Chain A
């Protein structure tokens, strides 16, 4: 089903339909994440991917034309690059441990301690919150800084453009 949506996104020329299909794709992704018991990530995917991104795309669409232009060049080179990259990535997964293998290195390093000691040490039953905010506090500080930087970047870009257009009118 997600493959169908992806193909539809690639084929469609009407950008409004593409934005809505993107939202549908995010919701499908969220259901997959729920099936994988990653409820926190599913919630983020549903709210960020399907909610805010769709709204931002729509507001950007309001500024642009709603029909995509015919591509000027043939799509064969990008297709080859995409297929080659996909093949390399698929080849890379062969080296990974089997799915949900309890002996995989990622489950042996610090994860057992988080699971066994997390609730006692932090008093927080949701292990995702405990890891995110406490054990991995530095990483989350970095993530917040990334969001901050993205926001400042957008402010710097769009605000200057707005001032310039205003100056042109005078």
Chain B
């Protein structure tokens, strides 16, 4: 698909908006529909879109394998780490009230980081699965 000029230009235009929309879904999840799962999938979809139009090596140059594999684990660790920080600050595990100077602020902070962990893991896993499938396709038939 690398030769289709229209696709390439439109893709370049749309990917920026897709990533922006993913960030909107992530950070506006407190007020509207959305959150880590959806935002992770949308941001992964933006990269996959790029990979489909520009080819897998181009996408691997933007988001390399080691980064994707780190993301898979880092998200869960971040989520679990929020719980540990709560423990260290004198609360229960995954207790957000102790994270800020007042409870509501602590809740905001806790939810923010937890959703961030979900986003990182989901995006990483989706990208990794796509890379593996597409990598097999490129190594095999082409």
Contacts and interface: CB of A to CB of B under 8 A. Distances in A.
Contacts of B42: 47, 51
Interface of A, helix, strand, loop or mixed by DSSP: helix
Interface in B110-142: 110-111, 114-115, 117-118, 121-122, 124-126, 128-130, 132-137, 139-141
Interface size range of chain B in the complex: 35 or more
A151 B111 contact: no
Given A44-B37, A52-B41, A147-B121, A122 B132 contact: no
A59 B33 CA distance: 29
Interface stretch (A9-17, A19-27, A134-142): A134-142
B37 to A, nearest CB: 6
Interface stretch (A66-74, A78-86, A93-101, A124-132): A124-132
Given A144-B75, A150-B125, A162 B94 contact: no
B103 to A, nearest CB: 7
Contacts of B105: 123
B4 interface: no
Given A129-B111, A144-B79, A59 B130 contact: yes
B45 interface: yes
B136 A43 contact: no
Contacts of B135: 162
Contacts, number: 149
B104 A43 contact: no
A33 to B, nearest CB: 11
A165 to B, nearest CB: 8
Contacts of A137: 83, 94, 96, 110, 114
B59 interface: no
Given A124-B108, A141-B80, A159-B132, A43 B38 contact: yes
A147 B76 CA distance: 9
B54 to A, nearest CB: 15
Interface of B: 25, 29-38, 41-42, 44-45, 48, 52, 69, 72-73, 75-76, 79-80, 83, 94, 96, 103-105, 107-108, 110-111, 114-115, 117-118, 121-122, 124-126, 128-130, 132-137, 139-141
Given A40-B35, A43-B38, A60-B133, 12 more contacts: A43-B25, A52-B41, A59-B130, A63-B133, A141-B76, A147-B121, A147-B125, A148-B125, A151-B121, A162-B136, A162-B139, A165-B139
The 3 closest A-B pairs by CB, nearest first: A151-B125, A123-B104, A39-B33
